[in-house]
Amino acid sequence: MKFLGNKATVMPLAAVAAMLAFGVPQADAQGFFERLFGGGIRHVPQRDFPPPPSRQRPKYKPDATAPAASRISSPSYYTYKSDPLVRVDFSTLTAAPEPAMPLDAAFQPSSATGAAFREAIAGLDSYELYAEKDIAKALVAYYAANPDFIWVTGAGANSRAQDAVRVLGEATSYGLTPADYTVEVPAAGASTGSADARLEELVRFEMALSARVLRYVHDAQSGRVDPNRITGYYDFPVKPLDMEGVLKTLTRTQQVRTYLESRHPQNAEYQALRVELESLQASADDEIVVDPKLLLKPEESSPELPKLLAKIARNLDDEMGGAYGEILARLASSEVYAPELVPVIKAVQKKAGMKGDGVIGPRTVAALVGTSKADKIQKVQVALEELRWLPSDLGSPRVFINQPAFTASYIENGEEKLKTRVVIGKTTNQTSFFYDQLEQVDFHPYWGVPQSILVNEMLPRLRRDPGYLDRAGYEVVNARGKRIPSSSVNWGAYGAKIPYGVRQLPSEANALGELKILFPNKHAIYMHDTPQKTFFQRDMRALSHGCVRLQDPRGMAAAVLGTSVDDIAEKLKHGHATEKVARRIPVYVAYFTAWPDMFGKVEYFSDVYDRDTRLQQALDSTEAVRSPAI
């Protein structure tokens, strides 16, 4: 969707009617209402904010023939199904003595290896090599146009092959599974069998290594799973990969290791996660592991409590030990959360920067106990996979929102110049995982109510009280583009498709607060201010309808517009206005339960939406399909 700044756009009434008659999709609702209502108008004086709603309500008798209540569903999670492997069809290579396809114009065969290759391909007749469909196709196409060995010289594997096999064997250091890329290397030296048998062994090794190298390059660049097939909350473009081009490059270079390693993301965050993974794999196990999903209130009991108390006692400093050491020692084996222990839990919660409510939940366990080694390893491996879905170069400047951390950062030239708390979507209204580009900042914005909120939350009340929107500071437009009173609409006649647009006027009560920062996307997600400031004091801040609420919206607006907070404050004095973001600034609405800070220290967060579990299921599905590797 495109916002038109200060220019008003006149839409044909037929087009308006058609769009409204079929319902404005949530993804396009905001942009549509901006165009329809002239959202790009420069200034609306602040004194024109609507007055407080009247308490008088018109009498309304519900329509007995009204359609049953309907709902617009949120995106769902899917059962991940990996594509089956296919047997590589070498018939086009083995059937004809001449190349099955025109030779590549740049192909320069070695007379010795070229002749050996043409003689060897007969050994592929009964060879059962399985690979992903696109890899199988690229493999045959490449060798049909380039009939020569890449990985074989003379009677054995060459140095290029040795480098490739070593890199594939080091896949664990990238959070990948080495078994996915295993290739049996022919023994060095002359075979004790016939020359034909040796050639067959070598050509099969050639094809197997090329297939696994292509799999490795794909996985390094794009990840092992297709995220968009896990859930509708994921939205990532496909990264193009010229597989034949990969093999051509490997034919021409002796720097195989350098090339293969360059296919991984080339950013500091990926490298920091790799270092963390290596460190974890080399470290000793933590013998005290507490259930990360523990939920315990005073006077309740759990066998996990003694483990939690032991972990707390181990990390006590002198001050805390003097105040609570005796209680911890006396109740060390208690499975009952006794009242005496509540002050202990509150104290250690506050010391960890938490609210200190005395309730033991997942965030308390994570803060007081930390994450177990096994869980950390899984979180880092998941994070490495997710990073492969993003661009290799994350860009500078950029805005990075990490949902499990409940933070948003503005980063420029390797420096985190702003970090602010955020509120993200509730588990029933989850914030999606995607990336886009910032486009504009709206001061004292209108809020175009998404169809999902209009249908799911407003419609039941409107059926009882059709004038509610008039009193609450909203505008309604009909299919002809005319603003009409909410009270004139028979809301009881509609279900999931409502042929009216609704937006909230700028005001102190506006759901978006005093500004919003837009990056047009089909999920209708953006960053904005909020009148509900108290939410930022909570530890668990998954509380919105899906958009990202900022604790410091003025600071973020100043950062992306390249100006000062004082300048933003001045702009806000002049009512509704829009300003374009002049620079290219990518924004990542990301989801990482393990993520490094700007100094490379990896921090761990709770899996708010249980997405790590679902990603692990997708990875397991992929591994199961790949298990018969060759």
SS3 (DSSP) at 150: coil
Q: Are 221 and 263 in contact (CB under 8 A)?
A: yes
SS3 (DSSP) at 550: strand
* CA-CA-CA-CA dihedral for 229, 235, 241, 243, to nearest 10: 0
Write out the two tokens for 321. Answer: 């030990």
Name the maximum alpha-carbon separation found in the chain. 99
SS3 (DSSP) at 504: strand
C-alpha closest to that of 504 among 9, 6, 24, 33: 33
Report the DSSP pairing between strands 156-157 and 234-235.
unpaired
C-alpha closest to that of 376 among 620, 624, 612: 612
Residues across the chain: 630
Rounded distance between C-alpha atoms, residue 155 and residue 168, angstroms: 22
- 357-361 — which CB contacts under 8 Å span 24+ positions? 358/298, 359/295, 359/296, 359/297, 360/294, 360/295, 360/296, 360/297, 360/305, 360/308, 361/294, 361/295, 361/296
Cα angle at 480 between 477 and 484, to 5 degrees?
A: 35
Using alpha carbons, list the distances in angstroms from residue 5 to 9, 25, 38, 132, 366.
Answer: 10, 22, 9, 47, 45
Rounded distance between C-alpha atoms, residue 470 and residue 489, angstroms: 11
* CA-CA-CA-CA dihedral for 401, 407, 411, 414, to nearest 10: -110
- For residues 191-217, one letter each, b for 16 or more C-beta atoms within 10 angstroms of the residue's C-beta and e for the rest, the string is beeeeeebbbbbbbbbbbbbbbbbbbb
For the annotated catalytic residues, the residue numbers are: 528, 547
Instruction: For the sheet with 447-448, list strands across it.
Output: 447-448, 501-504, 474-477, 483-484
C-alpha closest to that of 272 among 605, 606, 598, 612: 598
Q: Are 570 and 450 in contact (CB under 8 A)?
A: no
CB-based contacts of 630, cutoff 8 Å, min separation 6: 128, 129, 130, 182, 183, 184, 208
Using alpha carbons, list the distances in angstroms from residue 177 to 162, 171, 595, 627.
Answer: 19, 6, 21, 11
